[in-house]
Amino acid sequence: MSGVVSILKKEFREIWRDPYTLGIAIFLPLVLLLLFAYALNLDVKDIPMGVVDLDRSPESRLYIQVFVNTGSFDLKYYPATPDEAKRLLDRGKAQVVVLIPPNFSRTLAGGGTAVVQTLVDGTFPTSARVVQGYVDAINDAFTARLLAEHFASLGPGESLVAPAVMAVPQIRYNPALKSANFIVPGLIGVILMSFPPLLSALAIVREKERGSIQQIFVSPLRPWAFIVGKLIPYMIIAFGELVLILLTARYWFRVPMAGSVWLFLLASVPYVIGTVSIGLLVSTLTRSQLAAMLLALVLTFMPSFLFSGFMFPIFTMPTLLQIYSYFFPARYFTEITYGVFLKGVGLEVWLTQLAILALYTVALVTLASLRFKKKVG
Amino acid sequence: MNRRLIGLMRKEFIQFFRDKALVLLILYTFVEIAICGWALTLEVRNMPIAVYDGDRSAESRALVDAFARLDNFRLVAQVDRPGDLDRLMDEGQVQFALVIPPDFSRDLQAGRTAQVQLLLDGSNSSIAGQAMAVTAGLLRDYNERIILARVERVGQGGHGFLPRVRNQIRIWYMPQLKYVHFIMLTMLAISVLLLGVLVPAAAIVREKEAGTFEQLMITPITGVELIAAKILPMILLKLVGLTIGVAMSMWLFGVPLRGSLWLFYGISVLMFLSSSGIGVLMGTIAQNMQQTLLLAFFILFPLAFLSGTMVPISNMPRAMQWLTYLSPLRYYVEAMLGIFLKGIGLEILWPQALALAIYGLALLGVSTLRFRRSLA
């Protein structure tokens, strides 16, 4: 026991002497949180837009005006020809160009279907998709009004063109559709999976690089005491990060907390122990700090970022990768996080996830310690 | 190239390739991109949905079929009580549910607007928004058919007199909106930045920690030579990695190459220079390896973030948009997407190339000065 305490003391002293590391461990998560929450806004607005109006009639101007009125488009360019419009897209100046043909108003007056073209820059598929949805909706609204006016002028025909089926959406858990409510809780699992394992892996590989680990091996200190003493400080840092993120989420981003914060903290215990143990595992696999960092990135940060369902929905992935995502604890933790934060569901719903998380951690700790012991022996 | 430089580079090559795990990891980083390209998409596909059909008529079944037929949705449950939908949503089994009321077909036949209810899990706002857009598109087609039939039946205005606008949307550069093309290219760019910064920084700090830095200082080697010797072997390795990445993107995922491959390699070398510039500068600042790596983490995230790879730059708050000019990755990603997808050349991309060159030379210049100062 005294061995653990002396390693603990040494480790704390080392962390303390390097305020740089401590500062990064504490502030980097906050920087990440702010960057993500402010920038990761996939709501599209002020889309730079151009119009080639070859008709120049009141009707065509009205059609364009509908785009401007939505507030989503920023009409900045009036290229004279379709070729000029394409150059605007090439240069990335405009993201959308609407081409109105010369016979637009004539066709409408004759009761036909006027065909307008919209060019959308598809290099950013997500925003292109949103733009596509907007353009469709705007065109629908315009056409519906045209039809309604036309039938109204003919007499009592308006009900003919009323929509047959209308969908009334009811949005749950995040009714305002605020992306911060999704991003900020989702980041908790990612951040806890990135820094604590990295720090603990570096702490051990550092001693390997320096050669000071040999001295510890020849000392009467038991391997488990060394591991425990090395890992506890980083667990404490990890919990510090967790509390900091929770407070920022709650009081800065005003993310709702529908469930019980205590249940959430309970779930984070196995997760945090697990993350630090991955660091230990990484340290048994690598010799240099750079390699340890890259391996930690590959094993922890990337999967938790990509396969936890935080940014990329798991149901869209190929089956094989859906199975792959079950191998990373971040997935279970993130499910619990959303359950607690947004849905307010309790233990009865995510007992399975919690059990898997606990099992995972036990397995990790055992594996890492075994590998570590073998090295010593 | 003088002999001193060659000797120094040989040493760097040997030292660099001795850490087998590191070399493998660097190459693996480019392979991992392939997994991402395969797996990741932000579009709604196979979204699990549940249905409560309170009407059980031919009409309501037709509507449910219309939903189930789309690639976007996958019908996983048909429940008997509307309350069951709540449980499915709470457990996260479905993110989307359709409720058809008992009087659905009666309303339709009477010519009234029939209402259906959509229950949406709004947690992931962009997914929820897309699901609504898909539903709107489905109902648009559905309604149009019914309205046309009604108008024709009444005979009012006749078939030939329906003023309508059809908007043909054409997506340029990526007609099927293949997210995989975008993600392959941007992940490749991020790996270039990540390794470009990390590896040189680590190489310099390693010399510092080993104490061999002082020995190099007292040799006649100049700062420029030292930096060149450190950077060149890595650039070669990264070119190999990049080629693997590009080859995979093009052959496995069908990413088109519409512009010049040589231009792309040229701009990539400029990107290597500017990312190495960041790395070398970090190496001169940090005291030990741990500091270097954490500092790299600290700097790389904002740089990657402010490049438009995760979020389109036009979506960011104004102040953040200005900050993106500080990230070399921004210029590189613009050039990369431009060359591969748009097929544009240097006549449009010269500002990006110039920015990368200036960025790299300025940082490497500052680093050389710092070396010289520590020599004095």
Distance CA B161, CA B163 (A): 6
Taken in order B362, B364, B367, B369, the sign of the CA dihedral is negative
Per-residue pLDDT of chain A in tens (377 residues, 90 and over written 9): 677 788 888 888 888 877 777 787 778 888 888 877 776 665 667 888 999 999 999 989 999 998 898 888 889 899 988 888 888 888 888 889 999 999 898 888 887 888 899 998 887 777 787 888 888 888 888 888 887 777 776 665 556 667 777 777 777 788 777 778 888 888 888 888 888 888 888 888 888 887 777 777 777 777 778 888 888 888 998 998 899 889 998 898 888 888 888 889 988 999 999 999 899 888 888 888 888 888 888 888 888 888 887 777 788 787 888 888 888 888 899 888 988 888 888 787 788 888 999 999 899 888 888 887 766 54
Any CB–CB contact under 8 A between B157 and chain A? yes
- What pLDDT score was predicted for residue A175? 77
Distance CA A301, CA B360 (A): 28
What is the helix, strand, coil percentage profile of chain A, to 5?
70, 10, 20
- What pLDDT score was predicted for residue A93? 84
- The residue among B212, B215, B226 whose CA lies nearest residue B372 is B226
CB contact under 8 A, B28 and A298: yes
Could you tell me which chain B residue has the CA closest to the CA of A136? B167
Chain centre to alpha carbon of residue A203: 29
- What pLDDT score was predicted for residue B254? 84
Which of B28, B127, B163 lies closest to A146 in CB terms? Answer: B163
Give yes or no for a contact between A282 and A296, defined as CB atoms under 8 angstroms apart: yes
Give yes or no for a contact between A33 and A248, defined as CB atoms under 8 angstroms apart: yes
Q: Which residues contact A54 (CB under 8 A, 6 or more apart)?
A: A99, A100, A101, A102, A104
* Burial (Cβ within 10 Å: 0-12, 13-18, ≥19) of residue A237: buried
CB contact under 8 A, A298 and B334: no
Instruction: Take residue A223 and report the two structure tokens written for it.
Output: 């391997």
CB contact under 8 A, A40 and B290: no
Distance CA A46, CA A40 (A): 16
- The residue among B353, B341, B346, B299 whose CA lies nearest residue B323 is B299
Distance CA A188, CA A239 (A): 11
Alpha-helical (H) ranges within B96-178 are 104-110, 125-154
Could you tell me which chain A residue has the CA closest to the CA of B344? A90
Among A39-43, A299-303, B48-52, B306-310, the minimum mean pLDDT is found in A39-43
Give yes or no for a contact between B311 and B339, defined as CB atoms under 8 angstroms apart: no
Any CB–CB contact under 8 A between B32 and chain A? yes
Neighbours of A369 (CB within 10 A): 18
Give yes or no for a contact between A46 and A94, defined as CB atoms under 8 angstroms apart: no
CB contact under 8 A, B116 and A165: yes
B180-190 residue pLDDT tens: 788 888 888 88
Q: To probe the interface with B, which of A97, A290, A301, A302 has the most B CB atoms within 10 Å?
A: A290
CB contact under 8 A, B39 and A128: no
Give yes or no for a contact between A242 and A191, defined as CB atoms under 8 angstroms apart: no
Interface of A with B in 274-293 (CB under 8 A): 285-291, 293
Neighbours of B216 (CB within 10 A): 17
DSSP one-letter string for A272-321: HHHHHHHHHHHHHH-SSHHHHHHHHIIIIIHHHHHSSSSSS-GGGS-HHH
Any CB–CB contact under 8 A between A80 and chain B? no
Residue B51 has pLDDT above 90, yes or no: yes
Residue B1 has pLDDT above 70, yes or no: no
- Look up tokens 């045209």; give the residue: A146
Higher-confidence position of B361 and A215: B361
Residue B160 has pLDDT above 70, yes or no: no
Tell me the average pLDDT of chain B: 82
B232-263 residue pLDDT tens: 877 887 888 889 889 888 888 888 888 899 99
- Look up tokens 């500091």; give the residue: B291
Size of interface A-B (CB pairs under 8 A): 372
Which of A120, A286, A343 lies closest to B172 in CB terms? Answer: A120
Q: To probe the interface with B, which of A35, A67, A184, A307 has the most B CB atoms within 10 Å?
A: A35
Distance CA A9, CA A33 (A): 31
CB contact under 8 A, B25 and A198: no
Distance (Å) from the C-alpha of residue B67 to the closest C-alpha of chain A? 13
- The residue among B166, B126, B67 whose CA lies nearest residue A126 is B126
Interface of A with B in 311-350 (CB under 8 A): 311-313, 315-318, 321, 324, 335, 338-339, 342-343, 345, 349
Distance CA B294, CA A45 (A): 36
CB contact under 8 A, B19 and A95: no
- What pLDDT score was predicted for residue B353? 92
Residue type, B48: P
Any CB–CB contact under 8 A between B82 and chain A? no
Radius of gyration of chain A (CA): 29
Distance CA A35, CA A30 (A): 9
Distance CA A129, CA B16 (A): 45
Distance (Å) from the C-alpha of residue B168 to the closest C-alpha of chain A? 5
CB contact under 8 A, B115 and A168: yes
- What pLDDT score was predicted for residue B43? 72
Angle at B45 between CA A299 and CA B42, to 5 degrees: 50
- What pLDDT score was predicted for residue A155? 60
Could you tell me which chain B residue has the CA closest to the CA of A20? B291
- What pLDDT score was predicted for residue A377? 47
- The number of helix segments (H) and strand segments (E) in chain B equals 14, 5
Interface of A with B in 239-278 (CB under 8 A): none
Judging by DSSP bridges, how do beta strands A73-77 and A96-100 pair with one another? unpaired
- Look up tokens 């009036």; give the residue: A78
Segment (H or E) for A11: helix A2-17
Taken in order A253, A255, A261, A263, the sign of the CA dihedral is negative
CB contact under 8 A, B315 and A41: yes
Could you tell me which chain A residue has the CA closest to the CA of B28? A298
Distance (Å) from the C-alpha of residue B329 to the closest C-alpha of chain A? 16
Which of B42, B289, B298 lies closest to A289 in CB terms? Answer: B289
Bridge partners of A167? B116
Task: Report the complex ipTM.
Answer: 0.74
B68-104 residue pLDDT tens: 998 889 999 999 998 888 888 888 888 899 999 999 9
Give B133's contacts in chain A (Cβ within 8 Å).
Answer: 129-130, 133, 136-137
- The residue among B256, B249, B243, B250 whose CA lies nearest residue B34 is B249
Give yes or no for a contact between A357 and A308, defined as CB atoms under 8 angstroms apart: no
- What pLDDT score was predicted for residue A269? 92
Could you tell me which chain A residue has the CA closest to the CA of B44? A316
Chain centre to alpha carbon of residue B293: 24
Q: Is B53 helix (H, G, I), strand (E, B) or coil?
A: strand
- The number of helix segments (H) and strand segments (E) in chain A equals 15, 5
Give yes or no for a contact between A237 and A275, defined as CB atoms under 8 angstroms apart: no
Higher-confidence position of B296 and B58: B58
DSSP code of residue A341:
I
Any CB–CB contact under 8 A between A91 and chain B? yes
Any CB–CB contact under 8 A between B2 and chain A? no
Higher-confidence position of B206 and B138: B138
Neighbours of B232 (CB within 10 A): 18
